[in-house]
Chain A
Amino acid sequence: KAGVTQTPRYLIKTRGQQVTLSCSPISGHRSVSWYQQTPGQGLQFLFEYFSETQRNKGNFPGRFSGRQFSNSRSEMNVSTLELGDSALYLCASSLAEVLTIQETQYFGPGTRLLVL
């Protein structure tokens, strides 16, 4: 079974631009979560989708948005990019509606975004 895939793997943008990142979960998984990882802040939760509905949202400005499609694939969008948005963006998928020891999150390889 294929793992979580994220595209693109690397991206360079300039301040003020916008960017869209894509995540394809493991087949059959309906929950997708997004995280931002930076050296200083660690992994920070952005949002989580289940069956096309956003169930949880972290403390990020409105420039960060996302959505999930009927096939469970998810995208996140960052508008008006700032230098501080440079980070590794990780997507994780899980099967169950609620995380358990048997049904944990599986992470994708991430998209490394550099904002110049």
Chain B
Amino acid sequence: GQNIDQPTEMTATEGAIVQINCTYQTSGFNGLFWYQQHAGEAPTFLSYNVLDGLEEKGRFSSFLSRSKGYSYLLLKELQMKDSASYLCAVLSGGYQKVTFGTGTKLQVIP
């Protein structure tokens, strides 16, 4: 089976940096996604890690360690609009089977 864990909720201050962790246990790992989902909206793609290391994209960075079954999403220079749920998802096995964590609800406060 597969197991994906991430914190349920986090709060951070506008302008600060926040790190959202995700740990996973899976067989046949192919890659790890991070999605952002605002309340009442569909998830939108943020990043995809296949190899170990850091992927940077503007204010967002994502890190992967396959040996530790661990990833994190780093958000810099937080803005109020970053208040959303952040979903960690693992691609495993054949083709398109994507397993999502339950998501981390981030609240950015002034």
Interface residue tally on B, bucketed by range: 20 to 34
Cα separation A104 to B99 with both chains bound (whole Å)? 14
Q: Is A25 an interface residue (CB 8 A)?
A: no
Contact A98 B95 (CB under 8 A): yes
Stretch in contact with the other chain, from A14-22, A41-49, A62-70, A73-81? A41-49
Cα separation A108 to B42 with both chains bound (whole Å)? 6
With A107-B42, A108-B42 as known contacts, state yes or no: A43 contacts B96, CB within 8 Å.
Answer: no
Cα separation A55 to B98 with both chains bound (whole Å)? 12
Contact A110 B42 (CB under 8 A): yes
With A45-B100, A107-B43, A110-B42 as known contacts, state yes or no: A56 contacts B48, CB within 8 Å.
Answer: no
Contact A42 B95 (CB under 8 A): no
The count of residues in chain A whose C-beta lies closer than 8 Å to any C-beta of chain B is 27
Report A-chain residues with C-beta under 8 Å of the C-beta of B93: 56
Cα separation A110 to B31 with both chains bound (whole Å)? 25
Chain A residue nearest in CB terms to B96? A48
Contact A50 B48 (CB under 8 A): no
> Which of B30, B45, B50, B94 is in CB contact (< 8 Å) with A56?
B94
Cα separation A45 to B50 with both chains bound (whole Å)? 21
Contact A45 B98 (CB under 8 A): yes
Chain A residue nearest in CB terms to B50? A101
Residues of chain B touching chain A, judged by Cβ–Cβ distance below 8 Å, are 30-31, 33, 41-45, 48, 50, 87, 89, 91, 93-103
